[in-house]
Structure 1
């Protein structure tokens, strides 16, 4: 953890870094177009600071990373699922010179493509089940095998292997973004695009563009993520003129969902609406919810993003009106829990703390790893504790300790 421990709210971290930079509340508030009174309430936990656009503005002025204010990266706990080799082993796999140089002997024991394809699918399924430790612990070996396949096969088999390698790198980028390892996520997304480029496959390429967008999100580069959405959409649209496959439609639609989040965090409401409308039309064209290429794309995912973007834009009434009514039970666990965190945020912002805590506890019961690794759950829990006039409830104290935000 950089700079301080894990038991401070984002507002308290802002105060810590502000003092380190020698800035008064008046000066820092003025630099982001706010009042000193507002900043004082943020630093004293009287106002929730949960919009990434505002947090990013503060991080930029304080000259720290977004992860510094969000208390990232998060330590991956050792468990029976993860084993005792987690992010460092994945880092070593990504930094393996064999992935970037041709000066190597081709592997002699080539992985069978059918088995490799099944293993890639199984690990993506584990990610969507929010088994983050399991995924992190097994990605290094899967990357090695996928690289061997791409290096050793030829012809059509090599193209298939490159697609599988690209999807494995995409999973690594997605997982590392969840864990706050943004630099490694960028490397993984870049490697994935390089692996799949010779195939000319628009579906896998488009899917990897989404991972690049997520890497940009995680470092607060929202305007660049919006431009990436527009550029990637232009590339994919050349392949949508014929009869597109469900996978291509899903990748295209999901790209706009990621772009809508970026636009909302850039405080660009018109672009957010445009991207959501395009995603909605694409979902209608798809014909219903699906999970092609592990996108979980369809009308329900569009509704989830309407809630999340509304919260990012500060339109909390839309979030509180729509959020609890979205039925996510048919979606993968990762999507269900991510939406539950948005519902908890909306309830908390409307001072319905009991409902917010119930939503967060339900989410934790469904996917404890995912809740533990998300800044919203940590921020909400710490804020509730700081605002208690008396002794926090045993239920809230237990939650805080499980999230490692209370000594």
Structure 2
């Protein structure tokens, strides 16, 4: 595309953004005829002010319009693009199941291939590579939806539904982190219904945590708390339920997410009760495990204890938990997303107690582990802004560099 005239590049990116000439012209404050002449090369585009305005509307680096390699900041490699958001939205709005009721797809995607892709997507998420994941999600969603629609009942149908439920959960998790809360809730809600069709009670249980996380992000912490606790009680090991590690892990995560919801409404007593229950469940496992992609275990309980303290405004308690309760070896064995997430929580905790230097250091450590967790999350941008605002004089060079990558003004 580099050999194309600049007008053709404008047309290409306008089409990529699914924007008509009229809509583009309206946003630019020009006529449709002006846009048409620019794209056909009849009129020259030689004002840099207009060029930069076009780049802003099309959400591309101006260097792309000039046919040069873009001077892309590192964060743009890791974060989500609005084109990807719209593609994910379009995939979530598909209703293949009802279409297949009338006309089933003759060649559904092989379940083994989808299973491998789902595993890869989970690992991509747990390694904190959100940009890579969001680029792969639209196709993965379409493939999993097509398989679920085509295979119908029986073992294959349940397997297809189970895989689609996981894809919805992956989508919900990464979208919530990137601040797309409405889509996160939609994906999580879809995962609940699909998990029920899959006949997988534990998948439905962990899907509940995704729904509740989305609700919390949307300011609905109390219903999230109530739902987490209600499903945890139904799935609790013992009684009529088995005590497999998978069930213990899902049950423990429901308690942990309930504790996080309770911390959002300042219910300290409930937070402690749920954390203690999760700690008892983790003790049954003995170590951190990744059943149903939960990373649940003793260390993860302490990470949530610190996170809940931050949500309650007790940064000192969060720092104390980190220093006294979290051991280096099991923490270092956890996947990058979990560790970077904790370091972000710890940064918030240090900021709460006025330790700006350590708050910045935690952001740097998190960035080295999983850049997307720090550079892409809105909450991390808020912390960085706070660090910069409260730093006396010029910030340390590494902090200034990270802030630039994040797009946070120094």
Q: TM-score, normalised by structure 2?
A: 0.76
**Alignment equivalent of 1:381, drawn from 373, 381, 384:** 384
CA distance in 2, matches of 1:216, 1:243: 29
Instruction: Please give the secondary structure, in 1, of the residue aligned with 2:132.
Output: helix
CA distance in 2, matches of 1:82, 1:406: 20
Alignment-derived partner of residue 8 in structure 2 = none
Which structure has the larger Rg? Answer: 2
1:4-403 equivalent positions in 2, closer than 5 A: 79=77, 85-99=83-97, 101-102=99-100, 104-153=102-151, 154-237=153-236, 241-325=240-324, 326=326, 327=328, 328-403=331-406
Instruction: Please give the secondary structure, in 1, of the residue aligned with 2:106.
Output: coil
- Shifted more, 384-393 versus 294-303: the winner is 384-393
- Shifted more, 289-298 versus 389-398: the winner is 389-398
> Structure 1 residue 88: deviation in Å?
1.3
Q: Identify if the C-alpha distance between structure 1 residues 224 and 100 changes in structure 2 by more than 3 Å, giving closer, same or farther.
A: farther
Q: Identify if the C-alpha distance between structure 1 residues 247 and 368 changes in structure 2 by more than 3 Å, giving closer, same or farther.
A: same
> Structure 1 residue 151: deviation in Å?
1.6
CA distance in 1, matches of 2:256, 2:238: 19
CA distance in 2, matches of 1:238, 1:245: 8
Q: Across the two proteins, how many residue pairs are aligned to each other?
A: 332
Instruction: Please give the secondary structure, in 2, of the residue aligned with 1:87.
Output: helix
Structure with more contact order per residue of length (Cα contacts < 8 Å, sep ≥ 6): 1
CA distance in 2, matches of 1:361, 1:234: 39
> Structure 1 residue 262: deviation in Å?
0.5
CA distance in 1, matches of 2:107, 2:75: 33
Alignment-derived partner of residue 405 in structure 1 = 408
Q: Identify if the C-alpha distance between structure 1 residues 131 and 114 changes in structure 2 by more than 3 Å, giving closer, same or farther.
A: same
Alignment-derived partner of residue 37 in structure 1 = none
Unpaired runs of 5+ residues, structure 2, are 1-73
> Structure 1 residue 236: deviation in Å?
1.4
1:98-143 residue CA offsets vs partner (Å, 9 max, x unmatched): 2555555211222222222121111001000000011111111111
1:312-370 residue CA offsets vs partner (Å, 9 max, x unmatched): 22233321212245232111111100111122222233333222222211111111111
Judge conservation of contact 1:256–1:275 (CA < 8 Å) in 2: yes
CA distance in 2, matches of 1:332, 1:194: 29
Q: Identify if the C-alpha distance between structure 1 residues 234 and 102 changes in structure 2 by more than 3 Å, giving closer, same or farther.
A: farther
Judge conservation of contact 1:344–1:356 (CA < 8 Å) in 2: yes
Q: By percentage of residues, which structure has more helix?
A: 2
> Structure 1 residue 241: deviation in Å?
3.3
1:268-318 residue CA offsets vs partner (Å, 9 max, x unmatched): 011101110111111111221101111000000000011111122223332
Q: Identify if the C-alpha distance between structure 1 residues 240 and 219 changes in structure 2 by more than 3 Å, giving closer, same or farther.
A: farther
Judge conservation of contact 1:217–1:225 (CA < 8 Å) in 2: yes
Instruction: Please give the secondary structure, in 1, of the residue aligned with 2:174.
Output: helix
> Structure 1 residue 190: deviation in Å?
1.5
Alignment-derived partner of residue 19 in structure 2 = none
CA distance in 2, matches of 1:201, 1:250: 15
> Structure 1 residue 404: deviation in Å?
0.7
